[in-house]
Amino acid sequence: MFAQVYVNLGVTKLDHPFTYGIPKELEDAVKPGSRVVVPMHGRKLRGFVITVEDECTIDKDKVKDIVSAEAPKSGEGEMFALAGFIRERYGGTLGQALSVVFPSTANAAVKTYKVVRRTGDIDSALAELLSKKRHSKYAEKLFSILQKNEIFLWDDLRQDYDIPSDVIRKAEKQGLVSVEKRTHLRNPFENMKGLTQERPQISLNEDQRAVLDDFLKNKPKVSLIHGVTGSGKTLLYIAMIEQVLKEKKQAIVLIPEIALTLQNILRFYRFFGDKVSYVNSRMNASLKNEQLERARAGEVSVMIGPRSALFTPFKNLGLIIVDEEHETSYVSGKPPRYHAVEAAVERGRLCGAQVVLGSATPSVSSYTHAINSEYTLYTLEKRANDACMPEVSIVDMRAELAAGNRSILSRKLYDGIKDRLQKKEQVMLFINRRGVAGTVSCRECGAVIKCEHCDVPMVLHRDGFLHCHYCGAKRPMVRECPSCHSRLIGTMRAGTEKIETEVQRLFPKSRILRMDADTTKTPDGYRQIISAFSRKDADILIGTQMIVKGHDFPGVTLMGVLMADLSLNAADYRASERTFDLILQACGRSGRGENPGEAVIQTYQPENFAIVSAAKNDYRNFYRQESAYRRLLHFPPFSHLLSVEITSRTEEGCISMGTFITGRLKNAFPDLFVAGPTPSPISKIKDIFRYEVVIKDTSYEALIKARKLMDEAIAEADAPKNADLWYDFD
């Protein structure tokens, strides 16, 4: 018999399996998914078995045998299939896909300890020992101890009872004891105080109960829960998990890293106790690996974490929940740039688990799947416990400027903050500056310089030209606004530190906390800010998007959204969707306690449909207009995009590679839309230049063919060197 074995050599040309013979003594161990050691070029390398075959197509005399093999662990066959899906759909090498589903933390050290167990007739052995005139006092001591208990820690016998190692080993040779090596798998909750409280009851309202009943009755393969902020989606997830655990199955809960707060995790722990564990990016590799091993061993049944938690090695997975499914952090930033939502749906299909997506602001793609009946749609339109949504108002900053107010705060927001400080209530100020580097807008009328061909904002580059990153068009930088002819036009720059200084100047007696990348460089910094604001040690919390995700502060009754339209200026076809999401999520932080909430949205584009829809909490109106725009301009999900990022240490390397691949693509696929190469929005990071090529087609399969052609082309001898390609779909 023969096996196709994949060895990750890190070389694209060798990204394929190799044929090896299976020795008779290893036939039982060698199966698809087995980890093996094989000879290659005078070395012994580790690899994975892809397939097992009766015959091979090459000269059998040249085929070497597998050296050793470890049978695949439970569920690993399904994970290999998932790795194949990721490689095929998102590109990259099979080695990269395997490293995603079998993370490197699996090689991290796990703490072990030894135990000594009584296995023989200790009473007879002790009597025989005492009958001798000369005998070891340590052996007598060991046997006497083992008469009292069946098992002891090796270290306890050595340190507490002072018994030498050779005495224990001699007893082992005599068959009186066995020495076993065990693994200590730590529980990340074990050092936390106050978690032993009585488990609360799951009490659902009428709307939540209706969703749960339908979910349990019809068992949809993939469902989307569209619930307003504060509608109780988490409690509904908990009720679903409870049913899965009753069936002796396991559940995975994906939460975006930015919302993966201890507060969120403890909601699940309080219901399910030590059946719950979690992983996150702040865990060291050893502790993270121990949580995966606990899942494999059946110690835990619910794993919570960011996208990497999707690959938890559960043996009988019954449910995958993707909370805040619209979040962009579910897309991997390094190759293969897989989408965790799509990968979750595929894993659910492979193992027969139900998949639940949840969001107050579903992605346009997921909602389209739902209204096309590809997913089952559930809706929660009211907040739990009949809590009211905050009162939301939009402030036109153009009118503020015309009235002579040049402050970062509108008069309405200033008055609101002053009122909350007098009432001893809390305020949050959200600065919406996501993804806007290089975009140009007018401060007087709010107009944004857009591409006339694509209706997306253009980006100012070092060459002084405005570039479109979707069709490659460019134009000179404007000196005045083409709409109102104001010269107050340029790229927007506003930081949390500057805003903190201004707010402190306006309200000198207020206690202010700032949450951004600088103040949360360490996990302690993040926790300290959250804890302090929860204890009401501060009156105002200022921050970027990290303050609007996953937090519940009952004392907050006013949310101010500063520069609400700034993210509309991002050079991205999803800019309106991201803006709607951020504003609605931000407004949803207000009024979660006993007192009613208010939100003030400051903008230079008060008529923009994304801002108006978010202020009215009207997702359907937003979806109607956004989907019409995307359908008209052939953007996903009504068409498909493949963004190819080209990186090189020289700008010439990027341009040369970009020109090479676009030429090949246009020759092979004349009907395919291909644009570029153009500089990326951030065209240089750490001395590495970055360019983009954009490919568009109605068929996803056409983009996969294009990706495969590019992989083949860059492996050719005449292909430009010293440049790399990275693929990002839709």
Which amino acid belongs to residue 113?
A: Y
- pLDDT value at residue 436: 47
- pLDDT value at residue 414: 95
Sign of CA dihedral 419, 561, 229, 197: negative
In angstroms, rounded to a whole number, what is the distance separating the alpha carbons of residues 534 and 520? Answer: 16
The ranges of the chain annotated as CATH 3.30.70.600 are 640-729
pLDDT block averages, 10 residues each, the chain of length 730: 84 80 89 87 87 85 88 76 87 83 60 78 73 71 78 81 85 84 74 62 90 95 92 92 95 84 82 89 80 87 94 94 92 87 95 95 95 95 79 93 89 96 95 61 79 75 76 84 84 71 93 84 77 92 83 90 83 88 90 89 93 94 94 90 92 94 94 90 80 92 92 85 86
| CATH T-level topology, domain 1-72 | GIY-YIG endonuclease (3.40.1440)
| CATH T-level topology, domain 206-383 | Rossmann fold (3.40.50)
The ranges of the chain annotated as CATH 3.40.1440 are 1-72
- pLDDT value at residue 433: 61
In angstroms, rounded to a whole number, what is the distance separating the alpha carbons of residues 572 and 578? Answer: 10
Q: Which of helix, strand or coil describes residue 268?
A: helix
Angle subtended at Cα 311 by Cα 305 and Cα 317, rounded to the nearest 5 degrees = 95
The ranges of the chain annotated as CATH 3.40.50.300 are 206-383, 388-436+492-629
Q: How many CB atoms lie within 10 A of CB 363?
A: 22
Residue 439 carries which DSSP code?
A: B
Q: Tokens in use for 527?
A: 């926790």
- pLDDT value at residue 133: 60
- H helices of 152-232, in order, are 154-159, 165-173, 206-218
Which residues neighbour 708 within 8 Å (Cβ) at sequence distance 6 or greater? none
- pLDDT value at residue 579: 92
- pLDDT value at residue 238: 95
**Residue 429 · residue 437 · CB < 8 Å:** no
- pLDDT value at residue 289: 84
Q: What is the CATH number assigned to the segment(s) 640-729?
A: 3.30.70.600
Which residues neighbour 77 within 8 Å (Cβ) at sequence distance 6 or greater? 31, 32, 33
- pLDDT value at residue 493: 56
DSSP string, 622-685: HHHHHHHHHHHHT-TTSSEEEEEEEEESSHHHHHHHHHHHHHHHHHH-TTSEEEEEEEEEEEEE
In angstroms, rounded to a whole number, what is the distance separating the alpha carbons of residues 62 and 56? Answer: 11
**Residue 500 · residue 517 · CB < 8 Å:** no
**Residue 582 · residue 229 · CB < 8 Å:** no
Q: Tokens in use for 314?
A: 């559960």
- pLDDT value at residue 435: 43
pTM to 2 decimal places: 0.78
CATH class, 388-436+492-629 region: alpha beta
